[in-house]
Amino acid sequence: MRDGVIRWRRRSGAARIVALVLAGMAAGRQVSGQDPAGRTPPAGTVVPPGAAAVRAAYDKHEYRIPMRDGVELFTVVYSPRDTSRAYPFLMDRTPYGVGPYGDTAYKTSLGPSPAFMREGYIFVYQDCRGRYMSGGTYVYMTPHIDRPSGPHDTDESTDTYDTIEWLLKHVPHNNGRVGIWGISAPGFLTAASMIDAHPALKAASPQAPMIDWYMGDDRHHNGALLLAQTYRFLAGFDRPRSGPTTSYGPPTDFGTQDGYGFFLAMGPVANADTRYLHHTEVFWDSIMRHDRYDAFWQARSLAPHLHRAPPGVLVVGGWYDAEDPYGPLTSFRAIERQAPESHETLVMGPWCHGCWARDPGDRFGAIPFGQQTGVFYRDSIELPFFECYLEDRCGSALPRAIVFETGTNEWRRFDAWPPKDAVPTTFYLHAGGALSTTPPGAGEPPDHYVSDPRRPVPYTTATPFGYYREYTIEDQRFAAARPDVLVYETPPLTEPMTLAGPIRVTLHVASSGTDSDWIVKVIDVYPDSAADPPGLPPGVHLSGYQQLIRGDVMRAKFRTSFTNPTPLVPNQPTTVAFTIQDVFHTLKPGHRLMVQVQSSWFPLVDRNPQTFTDINTATEQAFHAATERVYHSPTRASTITVPVLPAVRQ
């Protein structure tokens, strides 16, 4: 089913809140639509109204709310000064701080977007357990306890429950309903809060939530460590504290922005501690101790516990999110399976990590969309969703999925995701670089390349220290030119082809080593005649552009089990199969579908020594070059399989 704009019935009320906000804006120096220097941001950018506007419309109170085990969580409540009606709560729990701290210091904006502040809510911000001004000990991706045995069995679900119970009793002028939202780590906290939720929790929006830090998201993919992002994040975030604090100090200075050079010079990941971290980052040390999917990681997977969710759930993610592409889709499927009584909607747009909350969303890097996708989401999906469940101001019911079709740049509505009419279609990799729906014939020899961990394939031409957020759409010609990257592509398409769903990869391979990584990238190749849209960065052209659509890594030692790794037998063929996260992308006529295969993707992914070992403790002597082979024969056909929508849709 195809639709355009989602229409909602909206009220014109909350006039007193709007008036107070506008009065505060007039009193402040900053004018909406401009920064303090007078520069005008792109239309559709979320511009905070300013602390004066917030102060004019809202009272601020700071509380230390006791949990069932006696630990107190620092909580800030902003209540509308207009007390002529009751308001719902809208909560954000976070490990990143709820500052500015102090009763007289106000945020510059409240809620997921300024529209919420104008409508009027009781906004609640809470430092989660063990972070900033809250008591207790912080636990990364707190394991959920399905059957607590007493008041000392706490997790993020119980902390949210206890917080809601306290708010309902102690904050006046509330209407007895609570909503919660959060992006990334707060998205995880939001997802965790939905489990066995407090009856007053009516609406939850986990946005880019981390769901499983071993299988996906921003710590590992299929057991392979996401090196650059993990190191950069934990070096700044994973700092010890002696007690409640309003600050963890200045950002870490790494001395360079050349991530490729830094991590290559660092050597094996074990050197991170001996040379730089010196065991000051507790969670980094935990990662190093748990190479396989053991009880430590299994306990931190939230997906098995997402049952008995609140009435309304809005799961949000970005097709171009370089950090948490796994969480939204995995949590959506888990809730759909385990909490069918909840009305759940999946929203996937053409966004980087959290960009739906702040950017116009009219382009991402070199790719324009012809519309302000972020504005559409905030005004026509997010705000009406919370209005419906928290205040009974409902318009048209949200469908099961609202997803942006990249390539054609149109929003689509579906009653299921992936779409029910999508047909699994298999593309075969052929010797010599062909890609087609025709199986290989007898006599096609394997392709081969030499993978050298001392000269790994870079994942980007940029030189960021952490990760380059635009790598998810970057031109892959730099990789295609390398001898250690295999390239397969179709002829130019004669009609549009829409890929809609997860991509299943099956490689028949062999290696001269005892372990190896297999990275598969799915790419949209533009024709040489492609015109350049306005606003491209200098030197970037879409003629022949090889736009990355999706890519992922599979560590061969986990090909049969993530808990019990097994070595490769040198030069003996084996099967490596895995799933790449969903896409929704249309290749236009004249474009070509391309698949690239390689064995390193550095420093996005840590280097595989190509020796069967615990990579987290491996020494330099374990790293060896290996010859990698990809087979193409009737009995060993290497393929990708992806759902394809019919060319003609209503």
pLDDT in tens, 19-60: 666 566 555 443 334 444 455 677 778 878 899 999 999 999
Structural fold of domain 423-645: Jelly Rolls (2.60.120)
Closest CA to 642 of 507, 511, 500, 463: 500
pLDDT of residue 253: 87
Question: What are the beta bridge partners of residue 642?
Answer: 425
pLDDT of residue 650: 38
pLDDT of residue 59: 98
pLDDT at 2 over 50: no
Chain Cα centroid distance, residue 544: 29
CB 228 within 8 A of CB 259: yes
Q: What is the mean pLDDT of residues 148-154?
A: 92
pLDDT in tens, 344-364: 999 999 999 999 999 999 999
How far apart (Å, rounded) are the C-alpha atoms in residues 479 and 256? 24
* Residue that wins the pLDDT comparison between 322 and 466: 322
Rounded to two decimals, the pTM is 0.94
CB 73 within 8 A of CB 163: yes
pLDDT of residue 86: 98
What class, spelled out in words, does domain 15-212+300-414 have in CATH?
alpha beta
pLDDT at 648 over 70: no
CB 493 within 8 A of CB 425: no
pLDDT of residue 535: 87
Q: What is the mean pLDDT of residues 132-150?
A: 95
Element (H, E) at 436: strand 435-436
CB 377 within 8 A of CB 361: yes
pLDDT at 311 over 50: yes
How is the chain split into domains, by residue range?
15-212+300-414, 423-645
pLDDT in tens, 81-126: 999 999 999 999 999 999 999 999 999 999 999 999 999 999 999 9
